[in-house]
Amino acid sequence: MAIKQSPNDASPNSVLLGVDLGRNHIRLGCVDRQGKLLTFRREPYAERAETSPAILADQLVSVIKQAVEEQSASAPIGAIGVAFPGLVHQDTQRLLSLRHLPNLTELYLHQEIHSMFGVPVHFDSNANAAAFAEMTLGVARGVADWLYLHIGANVSAGLVLGGQLQRGKSGLAGAIGQMTIDPERAGDAVALEAMVSADNIVRRTRDRLQRDRTSSLSRLGAMGGFTYEDIIDAAHGGDDLAKLMLERTGLFIGMAIGNIISLLNLGMIAIGGAPGGRPFLVKAIAAEAAHRAAPETFSDCQIVAAEIGAEGGVIGAALLAGQPN
């Protein structure tokens, strides 16, 4: 049976539901109209959800339904926002691509969720959602021209100019992961995402371990493997290889960021992704971008760690959904 809110549920007293499809979990939570996080949790992907469009879509609708039912006892859900690791056509709200999840482009998910729950629904990229959270509550408050860089299963950007989130003609702006770099400076251009997404950082580190077995990550590799988060933990523990791999990741990102700074004269680049990795990346990105950007524009730009953690996509997705049409 379809679950629909009453017409009054879009009132200022209602709360907003945000959902963010992450690399390992679906994150979701309720926020108030000012962006205060009221609830937050992670749901592991259901078996085969990461390979089956139908199972993923069913799980997404299921977690939303559960959140709506749980929240109804205190305050109704007034809008639902969902952040995806890929491209969303803004006019149609159709998903065009997802980086680490099955193809949902043939499904009318937006229409289904809106019909089921009877409240405004907004789909957007995870980078745009996190950027909106940072400009509302985080490090970019009051900054007019800046860029949020998302580093996770996909690599994407949320661009803000004149204090407004910019989506481009069809809502596809921010695909920085598809920009090409020459990582070894040997004339071989590759997509930035192929070097600096979470899984590709793990891949590069695993390849490096074949030449350097002194790292603490070698033990984890022998036990079945390690994750991006393990690399970050090792770096904080003083592991030289882990720190080197994060620094190299920052260098690759800086190759792209420097040109963007020169083009747009931005006041800030905020580095998102796993919070523990941000301090290592910021320093390396800034060092390489300084070589790439025009000195005058680089001096105008701060490169900083984003303030909001893994909940940023949830908060931003919810707030975007709650915006007046």
Q: What is the DSSP string of 133-149?
A: HHHHHSTTTT-SSEEEE
The DSSP 8-state label assigned to residue 47 in this structure reads T
**What pTM was computed for the model?**
0.92
What DSSP designation does 118 have?
-
Q: Top-level CATH class of 7-134+311-321?
A: alpha beta
Spatial separation of the C-alpha atoms in residues 235 and 218, rounded to whole Å: 13
Residue 101 has pLDDT above 90, yes or no: no
Tell me the pairing of strands 155-161 and 146-151. Answer: antiparallel
- Helix then strand count (H, E) for the chain reads 11, 14
Give the dihedral sign, CA 23/161/123/76: positive
pLDDT digits (tens, 9 = 90+) for 258-274: 999 999 999 999 999 99
> What pLDDT is attached to residue 45?
94
Contact 55, 49 (CB under 8 A): yes
Give the neighbor-by-neighbor strand order of the sheet with 41-44: 41-44, 25-31, 15-21, 77-84, 121-125
Distance from the first to the final alpha carbon of the chain: 28
Residue 302 CB-half CA count within 13 A: 10
pLDDT in tens, 305-325: 999 999 999 999 999 999 987
Sequence ranges of the domains in the chain: 7-134+311-321, 141-305
Give the DSSP H/E element, type plus range, for residue 19: strand 15-21
Could you tell me which residue, 228 or 220, shows the higher pLDDT? 228
pLDDT score for 105: 82
Fold match between 7-134+311-321 and 141-305?
A: yes
pLDDT in the model for residue 2: 41
Structure tokens at 276: 């523990």
Q: CATH fold of 141-305, please?
A: Nucleotidyltransferase; domain 5 (3.30.420)
Which DSSP symbol is given to 57? H
Give the tokens for residue 191.
Answer: 């997509």
pLDDT of residue 50: 86
